[in-house]
Structure formats: C-alpha cells, structure tokens
Amino acid sequence: MDKVRVLFLVGVDTDNTNAQSLNAREIALRLDPERFQSILWFEREPDPRLRDRTAIRLLKLPSRAKTWWIFKEMLEGYDIIAYADYSPASYLFLHLPRLLRRRTKTVFHAEAPLAQLVDPPLGLRFLYQGTFPRCDVYTGLSGSIATDIQSNIKKQVRYILSVGVDTTAFTPPAERRNPSPVVLFAGTLIERKGPQYVIDAAVRFPNAHFRLAGAGRNGFEKVLQERITQLGLNNIKLVGPKTQSQMRDMMRECDIFLLPSRLEGMPKVTLEAAATGLPCIVFRDYETPSVVDGVTGFQVSTLEEMMQSLGRLIADSSLRERMGIAARKHMAKFDWDVVAREWQRAYLEIAADRAR
C-alpha cells in the first residue's frame, strides 16, 4: 500500500518555539512510518529528532524566493497539505483549478478563535479572505474553537484534534520547597495575553513571587518593566523567552501557573504546566479542556474571581498539592502518544477521501 504523503506548512527549525511548529514535529514523529511519509521545512537547523527518520523528509528552504519554492512543492501531488496558512503560497495554490491541485486535500488546523485576528494589515486580510474559506478540511483544537469556526465562516469542522504534551519530558519535581509560593506566567508579552494583570496580582499578594516568561512584542515588555519599576515591586520579574527545556525547568521551580488571557484555544503552556504538577488559573471564556475547574485548577469569569482563586492557592499549600497531583493525572489523556493516534486516524480518513 502506498504511504500517505503529508506536507506540513510549518518550519521546524530547532530554535522555533511557535506552537504550530512544535505540534507538527510531535505529530510527524509519531505517525506510523509504515503508512505515512511526512515532509517538513527548515531554514537553518532542523529539530535533530527529525533527522535520519525513514518516514520523514526534511526540505531546506532557501533564503530567497521562499514563496516560489513552497508553492512549487505544494504542486507535487501530496495526499494532504497540513497546517494550511495565510501565506502567499497557500493563496496561489488554493486559487488553482482543482485539476492542477491533483485532488490534494488542504487541511486548516484552527487553534484559536478568529477574534485573535485583530485589525490585520490589509495584505494579511486579503490573504486570509482568499485562503481560509477555500480549504478542504477544517479541524478544531477544542469544541469551543469548532463552534467559533462554524459560526463565523459557516464551515463544518470535521475533527476535534487536540494538541498534546510530552509527559515524559514535562514531569513534576520530587518536591516543591519554595518558602513563598512562586506564580508563573508564560506567553508572548502582549496586552491581549494579560501580563499586566500579573503585575496587579504582585501588588495584591506581596508575600508571593511572580515570574513573567516570554518574548516581548512591539515593546510591551518595556511598558511592563516601567510599571514594575514605578510601583517599586521586588516580588516580580521579567525573565525573557525560554526554550522548551528551560520552560520545563522553570515550571518545576514554580508553584502556580497563571494565564490571564481571555482569547485562546487550548494554551499549550497549560498542558505543560499541568504535566509538571502546577495548578492552573485560566479564564473560562474559551473553555479549555486542559483545566478542570475546581479539580486541577480554576476557570474564572472575572479579574476579581481570578484574584480570589489565586489567593486561595497562595494561602493553601495542601490545595496546591492536591490540584497539582490531579493536573498531572489529567494530562495522561493529553500525552502526545495518545493524541497523535487521533491525528493519524483523521489523516487516514482524509487521505481515503482524496483517493476516492
């Protein structure tokens, strides 16, 4: 039987910490090598785990004419093009007559609400309108995301495909010994993610310590640092962007994970934090299945409720421990080895439709 050939439209350089890049690598590594051939791009140095795999082919993207090279590769008759995006190459491909696309199935993996696309530049809006509605298959990260897609563009989400976590890499420490609780935020330092509210929490809970991990965007990290300085806070610090291994180590050193963002899909960091035994506080706006309210952490509706839940965890070490144990246990169903089987099943069905 011929293998199902899947072209992933994400870069897999080892220093690429984009969530889609990380997800695509984990999926490609776990697809049955007897049934799948995965093709992935890199620009400088690919994730070393992907090298020398019989069922994985790595393509080096040249520094110039990238759109042309990607578009040309998309014409090679793949069964599936995964992670279809808003790129010029995707736009060109999706506007070709079906005959020239050779029945290749383009799959859009929706990982966040469409509202995240806030005031996009004219060029990006043009590409979005010319690509997203033209894909062949839509998947959603969660039921909430599927509902969002179906409501906004009237497209049926065919599969709910979660992301996962490597529970053998992200593990709890033997013991947490911080004399005062340490609260971690991890994510891009932009206003939408809510790191400014972590500063408010540091003011409200001076006996706890807070860390903001992540890269800044458009200078927002400077705004945060200026506010920390103006308030004279000594219990909070910006620690910058972290690699996967550095983030794992930091999570093991902390006691609580706090994500004040109100517009997410299923935040990958909540899976990683839970796998290391951290109770998580998130907003229930996006109904992430990664946090079970009252069991593995809290899903809150307002900033005041967030503060109250955080106060409970800061004050009660036994509650932190119980929720941390439950969080780690909950992650068994999100282990990549489990999740990847669902992706494989979906890809086999999509490829079978393509063959018919």
Give the pLDDT mean for 275-280: 98
Residue 134 has pLDDT above 80, yes or no: yes
User: Mind listing the pLDDT tens digit for each residue in 159-187?
Assistant: 999 999 999 999 999 999 999 999 999 99
pLDDT of residue 333: 95
On whether both 24 and 148 belong to a single domain, the answer is yes
Q: Are residues 18 and 43 in the same domain?
A: yes
The answer, yes or no, to whether residue 115 has pLDDT greater than 70, is no
Show Cβ contacts of residue 128 under 8 Å, excluding neighbours closer than 6 positions.
Answer: 86, 117, 120
Residue pLDDT, tens place only, 303-319: 999 999 999 999 999 99
- Boundaries of domain holding 157: 4-164+335-355
- Whole-model pTM: value is 0.90
pLDDT surpassing 70 at residue 15: yes
- Is residue 169 a part of any domain in this protein? no
Count of domains for the chain = 2
Of residues 330, 187, 153, the one with CA closest to residue 264: 187
Q: Is residue 348 part of a domain?
A: yes
**Are 141 and 110 within 8 A, CB to CB?**
yes
Q: Does one domain contain both 154 and 203?
A: no
**Type of residue numbered 315:** A
Backbone angles phi, psi at 238, to 5 degrees: -85, 125
Overall average pLDDT of the 175-204 stretch:
96
Buried b (16+ CB within 10 A) or exposed e, 175-185: ebeeeebbbbb
Specify the range with the lowest mean pLDDT, choosing from 12-26, 109-123, 187-201.
109-123
81 and 200, same domain (yes or no): no
Residue 290 pLDDT more than 80? yes
What is the helix, strand, coil percentage profile of the chain, to 5? 45, 20, 35
Same-domain check for residues 300 and 201: yes
Q: How far apart are CA 336 and CA 289, in angstroms?
A: 15
* In-domain check, residue 137: yes
Please indicate, yes or no, whether residues 247 and 308 belong to a single structural domain of this protein.
Answer: yes
CATH number, domain of 347, equals 3.40.50.2000
Integer Cα distance of 354 and 356 in angstroms: 5
12 in any annotated domain: yes
Confidence tier at 1 by pLDDT (50, 70, 90)? low
pLDDT value at residue 325: 98
Q: What is the pLDDT of residue 118?
A: 62
**Residue-wise pLDDT tens digits, 32-84:** 999 999 999 999 999 999 999 999 999 999 989 999 999 999 999 999 999 99
Shared-domain flag, residues 26 and 114: yes
Same domain, 219 and 130: no
